[in-house]
Amino acid sequence: MAGGEGKRFWPLSRRDNPKQFLSLVGGRSMIRSTVDRVLPLIPIENVFIVTLERYADETLRHIPELPKANLILEPDGKNTAPAIAFGTLKIKKLDSNAVTVVLPADHVIGEEDVFRDVLLFGEKMANRRLPNGDFPLVTLGIRPNRPETGYGYIKEAEVIESSEKYQAKMVQKFTEKPDLKTALQFLDEGRYYWNSGIFVWRVSSILEAFRRLLPEWYKFFDKILSDINTLEERAALVEFYKQIEPGPIDKLILERSQNTIVIPVDFPWSDLGSWQALDEFLRTGVEENVFFGEGVSIDSSGCFVFGGNRPIAIVGVRDLVVVDSGDAVLVIDKQKAQDVKRVVEALEKKGEM
């Protein structure tokens, strides 16, 4: 899934250069890293990228070896559930027995060996029937190390399978972005995980979930499926996108399904949802300020400074994010990093995005 529209990393990200194309960590773009991360496990022929039509060329520039037929183009950004529905149908057309791993293209993950090892366990679980006879919808839950209020939380229920290294558990409930007090309770209670947005399931399992939980969507699927790879494909998709009430897969399917399970995992992970999240992911705890690019810091701490070719000096300031993208400058209180969207909105109003 690589359809992000790039408001959270303004001014580095723009409508025509969203986060998945940025090199925020490790020198490669987010989408390149995401593909590279699974290639030891999944050949490029089996990698499918769902993105917006307007990002098609740039996506292929980042992943030039991607078979062109594996680029799944949405006419519009409609959140994750429609993207997953359409992507799943495209894959079903090729192999209705496939197991799919759903990955956001703009997250960062460490310990990639562990990550791939978990995916193999996830695949195993996706093919193992639950006590009710259904195949599960597998989510990966990140063990939280702080009371993060920006993430969704998954609460575990009973264990349904244990391997030497991993466990799979039924899901009791989802909680989207709790307040700090609630997040602290979650941490204290210890049975909650961050929803990583990474899912593993059989094509047939997720389509069955759509049938049961979103029949008003499901009724379009036969038509789309038969039109795929014909001249009618785009029209069928446009009609579908026009008729549905879009939303995230978590809310529309996973938290309403009886078949959702969670595998608790420990690899380093961040959705890099804001400049603050990037700062958090990169900060080792030793440095006073995190600098990308050339700069000078005097009597300053807690700052995240992201520059390009020009030096950035910070003096006597605390907990700021300072970004110089070459064509704009942002100075924002780190705690308010989410509000960068309001800058994008203000500039859009002024016609300057």
Complex with a copy of itself: residue 95 or 299, whichever CB lies closer: 299
- CB count, 10 Å around CB of 298? 9
**How many residues lie near a copy of itself (CB under 8 A)?**
36
**Angstrom distance (rounded) from CA 84 to CA 87:** 5
From candidates 84, 101, 142, 314, binder to a copy of itself by CB under 8 A: 314
Q: Does 329 bind a copy of itself (CB under 8 A)?
A: yes
Smallest distance, a copy of itself to C-beta of residue 86, A: 35
Nearest distance, CB of residue 26 and a copy of itself, angstroms: 25
Which residue shows structure tokens 């939980």?
213
The stretch near a copy of itself (CB under 8 A) out of 110-118, 228-236, 265-273, 343-351 is 343-351
- Cα(331)–Cα(322) distance, rounded to whole angstroms? 5
352 contacts a copy of itself (rule: CB under 8 A): yes
Pick from 219, 222, 216, 210: nearest CA to 252: 210
Does position 346 interact with a copy of itself (CB under 8 A)? The reply is yes
Report the nearest approach of a copy of itself to the CB of residue 20 (Å).
22
Q: Which is nearer to a copy of itself, 113 or 352 (CB)?
A: 352
Query: Can residue 238 be called a binding residue for a copy of itself (CB under 8 A)?
Result: no
Q: Is 333 in the site for a copy of itself (CB under 8 A)?
A: yes
Q: Is residue 242 packed enough to be buried (19+ CB in 10 Å), middle (13-18) or exposed (0-12)?
A: exposed
Shortest spacing between CB 332 and a copy of itself, in angstroms? 4
Determine the Cα–Cα distance for residues 136 and 140; give it in Å rounded to an integer.
13
Q: Which residues contact 335 (CB under 8 A, 6 or more apart)?
A: 276, 319
Q: Is 16 in the site for a copy of itself (CB under 8 A)?
A: no
CA–CA gap between residue 286 and residue 19 (Å, rounded)? 27
Q: Which two tokens stand for residue 190?
A: 């210890």
Cα first-last separation, the chain: 24
Binding piece for a copy of itself, criterion CB under 8 A, among 40-48, 61-69, 149-157, 318-326: 318-326
User: Is 15 near a copy of itself (CB under 8 A)?
Assistant: no
Of 286, 298, 301, 304, the one binding a copy of itself (CB under 8 A) is 298
Residues 6 or more apart whose CB falls under 8 angstroms from that of 66 comprise 35, 44, 47, 49, 59, 60
Long-range contacts of 45-48 (CB under 8 A, 24+ apart): 45/70, 48/72, 48/87, 48/90, 48/91
Is 64 a binding residue for a copy of itself by CB under 8 A? The answer is no
312 binds a copy of itself (CB under 8 A): yes
Q: Minimal CA–CA distance to 272: which of 325, 342, 207, 197?
A: 197
Residue 296 in contact with a copy of itself, rule: CB under 8 A = yes
Beta carbon of residue 19, minimum distance to a copy of itself (angstroms, whole number) = 18
Q: Which of 11, 82, 178, 273 binds a copy of itself (CB under 8 A)?
A: 11
Instruction: Round to whole Å and give the CA distance between 284 and 222.
Output: 51
Q: How far is the CB of 140 from a copy of itself (least distance, A)?
A: 33
Task: Rule CB under 8 A: choose which of 64, 215, 327, 351 binds a copy of itself.
Answer: 327
Nearer to a copy of itself, 211 or 318 (CB): 318
351 binds a copy of itself (CB under 8 A): no
Say how far apart CA 134 and CA 128 lie, in whole Å. 9
Q: Which residues bind a copy of itself (CB under 8 A)?
A: 10-11, 294, 296, 298-299, 307, 310-317, 320, 322, 324, 326-333, 335-336, 339-340, 342-343, 346-347, 350, 352
